[in-house]
Each structure stands twice: as C-alpha cells, then as structure tokens.
Amino acid sequence: MKIGIIGVGLIGGSIALKLKQKKAVDFIYGIDNNTDNLDEALSLKIIDEKADFEFGIKNSDLIIIAIPVDAARKILPNVLDIIDSSQTVMDVGSTKAGIVNSVKDHPNRSRFVAFHPMWGTENHGPKSAVAESFAGKAGVICDREDSAADALQLVQNIVENLDMHLIYMNAEAHDLHTAYISHISHITSYALANTVLEKEKEEETIFQLASSGFSSTVRLAKSHPEMWVPIFKQNKENVLDVLNEHISQLRKFKSALEKENFEYLAELIENANKIRGILDK
Amino acid sequence: MKIGIIGVGLIGGSIALKLKQKKAVDFIYGIDNNTDNLDEALSLKIIDEKADFEFGIKNSDLIIIAIPVDAARKILPNVLDIIDSSQTVMDVGSTKAGIVNSVKDHPNRSRFVAFHPMWGTENHGPKSAVAESFAGKAGVICDREDSAADALQLVQNIVENLDMHLIYMNAEAHDLHTAYISHISHITSYALANTVLEKEKEEETIFQLASSGFSSTVRLAKSHPEMWVPIFKQNKENVLDVLNEHISQLRKFKSALEKENFEYLAELIENANKIRGILDK
C-alpha cells in the first residue's frame, strides 16, 4: 500500500513511523508546503519521497491529511476532486464538524473517513515524531455511516496498526466532548502561563522554583498557535460554553477564599478529587 | 544522628527513605496521630520505631515536622518548648510566613529552620513515599538569619543529602512566589476537574477520550483537601491576588473568541509560549 501524507509534522510523521514499523505500508509520499519539513522528514526516513500535491495524491491508495484544521477543511474538497473510487482519504484533525460539513455534498464524500487520534504533545515538526505516540490512546472515527465500507475498513486497519482503541462518535458529539476533555485544558494552561508571566517578573525565580506540578499543569501552554487558533475557531461555541463554566468554577474558589468559607473550599476540592476515580479506572 | 519525623506521610516518608539510602541518619522515630500510617511506615521500614510526641522529640537530634501547614504552625511552639539548644527543628510546609510568625518571639526560635522542598505528588500516605522524590528539585530555606548557624548547617546537609538545589528566600517572598508557581496550578486544576465533571455527564466518555494532555493538566486535582485547604488558608491574600489575575487572563481568551479576534487569540497564545523558554532553560 502506498500512502500520501499531507503535512509531515508531529502527527503525520508519527503515523508514518508507526506504520513503517508495523510494515503496514510499502511506500510513503510526503506532501508539504514547508520544504524544510519535507527535507527533514526525508532525512529522518519518515517519508520515502517528496511529492507535489497532485502527483502524491494520484499515486497513493490512502491520503492522510495532517495539517491544521482550517487548512485541512479547505484542502479536503480539492483532494476528493482528484481521487477515484479506489482511493481513501482520512484526516487527523482535532475538530470534526467543520470538516465533515465542508464535503457533505461532495460526490466523493464516501471515500473520506473523519478521524481524530487523541494524542499530541506540545512539540511540532517531523523531528518530534515518535512511533510509539498513539499506543493505548483513543482513536475516534466520526460519522462512519457517511464513509464507504471499504474506506472505513482501511482506516480501521490503520487505527489498529497504531495500537489505538477505536471509538465511534458523530462529529457534533466529538466536538462537544473534545471541548471538555482537550480544548479547555489548553486554554487553562495558556492562561496559567500568562498569569505567571504577568505576575512573576522574576523569570529566574520561576525557573528555580518550578516544581513538577507546575510544569505538568503548564506543559500544554507550549503548544503552537498555528495548530490551536484554528481549533478554537472551528469549535468556538463549545469552547466558549466550557470556558464560561470554567470561569464560574474558578469564581467559586475565589468566593470561598474571600469569605474564608473553608468548609466550602474543602467541598470544592473533594468534588474535584472525583476525577481520580474516573481517570484511574 | 537520630531523627524524629512528625507526620510519616508522603513527604516525611520520602525524606526518611532518602536519608536512609544516603546513610545520613542512624535511627528514625515516627510520630503520628494516625496509627495506621505509623504501622505502615514501620512495616515499610520508613521508620525504625514508633514514638509518642514527647519521647520522640526529646530523643532526636533533628525533628522534622511534615504535617499540614495549619497543624505544623500549631505544633511548632510546643516542639520548641521541650527541646534544648543541641537540637534542631525543621518543617517542610508549603507556606512559610505563618509558621515563622508563630514562633518569632519564642526563646528557642533559633533552633528552627523553615524549609520547603518544591516537590509533591497528588498521592499521600507512607506507601506513596519514594526516595528519589527530591533529586534535582529546589529546596527553599526561609529567613535563615533567624536560625542558629549550627541548626542551619544541619538542615543544609539534609537538603544536600536529598540531592536538592538550595535556595534562600524570606518567608514573605516565598509565599508570594509559591502562590504563582504552585498554589494557583492546584486551583486551576481543581476548577478544571470540576468543570469537566459538571459539563461532561458521561463519565465513560471522559475515561475513553482523556488524552495525556488532559491527564497532565488535571493531575493536581487529585490532591487532597487535608493538605491544600490549610495552604490556601495560610496564603489567602497572595492566592487571591494570583487567582484574580488568572480569571482576568481567561477572560481575555473568552473575549478574543467571542469577538472572533483570532489575531489577538494568537498573540495570547504566543505570549504563553514564552513559558517554554523559561521552563526549558
């Protein structure tokens, strides 16, 4: 099987490495506007050959779109325009309603499978790619009823080769749940970094005192705007909804402290502790 | 050297294990109101003997107070009451102004060294103790000028044996900086957990979708109220100050999204990205 990967960054690169390791693929074309990334991916043996857009797509059995969600949404109709019914297209974007809507009336819609691997790091570029990224994490396929059976089967095989556990969801539900589980974490982490940078003018002190607790809470704040602005843009309503709830939860802590209502503060914390039972199942 | 540890939980237990590993101590008395913890610490060989309050203190060269900060503040004057000038007392609490103020006029004040190891996990109890906890982290000694030279030297040796890098700070500055670097992270993490628990009624979905990003941001939300309510209580003013700033930083994200001002959103994220340069120095 030949694969064409559009966007040979962290996610595209990690998929490529894993599929090669599993010998699930014979040849990988890399397609990327960023020629530095392409050269790097080639020298890291993430891809076998650089290809231009049309050649790479026409010569691949499976095309994986692994670029920021706004660009992915824009490019998907063009990709579907030039494939035939033996080819399959999948994406890996963190928002799904926008991209499935962008092709809902496309004659080749059934060749597309909307996919989201629940994995990422704050790093980017082909050099951050690692084969073992996805193992044990959730891989979500959205609106499977809109994909052809053979296209769906191919993507299911890919997900299996990534050692992910497969979940099916409709695109709207996906965007709602990821707002809770992923997008809001990034906003709190960005806002926490900005809080500390605003209030703590002594950088040296941050560096010296930063504990593993701080580092883990603020880790996501290293994530780049090129990826995250489009996600927040595409999932604006859900993210705002969760963000409003989050601000109101923070106000409860503020009010408990201001009023020195330490029993209520303990209740808020005990409630938060319930996340342990869910995460450590 | 004989050590008496008041509170054989995560921190007290981890210090004991590390000092034993380094052969920096001959004998460890465990003092704890929680007899289950004492028995567990004994069976895990964290301590050599259970002791009651007065016996344990009178027979130790160094007494380490490792209980929640409100209890530590209450107990410290009693400990200083019964020691003589050959003994040293240190604490490990996350807030420092309250405890140093509680003994500022005590005749044995100079036998006390106020210490805070910048390490902890969301776990608790002796079974969570691990010897390698502190290595490479910051150990802060506060108001060193108020401690006797030999007491200070003894605690410095302990910090060295824990493989921590030593920082000196006054207690007020410590409480201000830890509000930024540690206490606010816990509040955002608790509030994030409560947000998700409030909005995401499908626990199974949280469990299935939770990515490593979510888990790392929400990890601190597992921390227990017994430890954290007293910290927020003792450091109320600083924590409120940082919390207000944090809420206002979140409102900037909210406003950027509401107004669809994606350039401003990108600026906010780029600013947050600067934390990378500081954390990865």
pLDDT at residue B200, rounded to an integer: 74
User: What is the structure's pLDDT at B11?
Assistant: 94
- What is the per-residue pLDDT across B148-180, written as a single tens digit (0 to 9) for each? 999 999 999 999 999 999 999 999 999 999 998
Strands (E), B227-274: none
DSSP annotation of A164 = P
- Sequence-distant (6+) residues with CB within 8 A of A48 are A27, A28, A29
* Residue range A200-258, pLDDT digits in tens: 777 777 777 876 778 888 889 999 999 999 999 999 999 999 999 999 999 999 999 99
Beta-carbon pairs below 8 A across chains A and B:
309
Which residues between 168 and 187 in chain A have a beta carbon less than 8 angstroms from any beta carbon of chain B? Answer: 177-178, 180-182, 184-187
Chain A residues inside the 8 Å CB shell of B276:
122, 221-222
Span A184-201, pLDDT tens digits: 999 999 999 999 998 777
**The predicted structure's pLDDT at residue A281:** 62
Q: Which architecture, in CATH terms, is B2-169?
A: 3-Layer(aba) Sandwich (3.40)
| 99-118 of B, contacting A, C-beta below 8 A | 118
Looking at the DSSP bridge assignments, the partners of residue A169 are A142
How high is the mean pLDDT of chain B?
94
Interchain CB contact of A229 with B (< 8 Å): yes
A44 touches chain B (CB under 8 A): no
Least confident of A225-229, B58-62, B248-252, B275-279: B275-279
Identity of the residue in A229, A239, A243 whose CB atom sits nearest the CB atom of B262 = A229
- Whether residues B250 and A205 touch (CB distance < 8 A) is answered with no
Q: Given a cut of 70, is residue B27 above it in pLDDT?
A: yes
Mean pLDDT within A99-120: 96
Which residues in chain B are contacts of A259 at CB distance < 8 A?
A: none
Contact check, Cβ <8 Å, A262/B189:
no
Q: Does B123 touch chain A (CB under 8 A)?
A: no
Contact status of A269 with chain B (Cβ, < 8 Å): yes
Match 């469990």 to its residue by tokens: B207
Bridge-partner residues for A268, per DSSP? Answer: none
CB nearest B240 (choices: A187, A202, A254): A254
∠ CA B198-B199-B202, rounded to 5°: 95
Give B195 to chain A, closest Cα distance, Å. 5
| Mutant choice from A249, A273, A274 vs B, greatest count of B C-beta within 10 A | A249
Q: How far is A228 from chain B (nearest CA, A)?
A: 8
Tell me the fold of A174-279.
Answer: 6-phosphogluconate dehydrogenase C-terminal fold (1.10.3660)
Residue B27, classed as helix, strand or coil, is strand
What would the mean pLDDT of A121-128 be, rounded to a whole number?
86
Instruction: Read off the pLDDT band of B198 (50, 70, 90).
Output: confident
CB-based contact A160:B179 (threshold 8 Å): no
User: Residues for chain B: how many in total?
Assistant: 281
Of B180, B186, B257, the CB nearest to A239: B257
Given the structure tokens 């530095």, which residue do they identify? A36
Residues of A in contact with B206 (CB under 8 A): 180-181, 278-279
CB atoms near residue B201 (< 10 Å): 8
Round the average pLDDT of chain A to a whole number and report it.
Answer: 94
Between CA A139 and CA A162 the distance in angstroms is 9
Collect all residues of chain A within an 8 Å Cβ-Cβ radius of residue B202. 177
Nearest CA in chain A to B120: A213
Verify whether the Cβ–Cβ distance B209 to A273 is below 8 Å. no
Here the ipTM equals: 0.91
Among partner residues B211, B233, B242, which is closest to A262 by beta-carbon distance? B233
Using a CB-CB cut-off of 8 Å, the residues of chain B touching A269 are: 190, 223-225, 228-229
B135–chain A Cβ distance below 8 A for any pair: no
Q: Where are the domains of chain B?
A: 2-169, 174-279
Cβ-Cβ contacts under 8 Å for B270 (sequence gap 6 or more): A225
Task: For residues B74 and B217, give the distance between their C-alpha atoms in angstroms, rounded to a whole number.
Answer: 33
Of the candidates A122, A223, A266, the beta carbon closest to that of B229 is on A266
Share of chain A above pLDDT 70, in %: 99
C-alpha distance from A166 to closest chain B C-alpha (Å)? 10
The predicted structure's pLDDT at residue B252:
98
Tokens of A71: 């660009």
Among B14, B121, B194, pick the best mutation site for testing chain A contact (most A Cβ within 10 A): B194
pLDDT per residue over A142-176, tens digit each?
999 999 999 999 999 999 999 999 999 999 999 99
Are β-strands B112-117 and A62-65 bridged in parallel, bridged antiparallel, or unpaired?
A: unpaired
Which of B96, B214, B242 to probe the A interface (max A CBs under 10 A)? B214
Listed residue (B10, B34, B46, B41) closest to B125, CA to CA:
B10
- For residue A137, give how far its alpha carbon lies from the nearest alpha carbon of chain B (Å): 7
Tens-digit pLDDT profile for residues A59-72: 999 999 999 999 99
Residues of A in contact with B245 (CB under 8 A): 195, 198-199
CB contact set of A36 (below 8 Å; sequence gap of 6+) = none
Are A119 and B212 in contact by the 8 Å Cβ rule? The answer is: yes
Beta-strand relationship, B2-6 and A165-169: unpaired
Chain B hits for A139, CB-CB cut-off 8 Å, are none
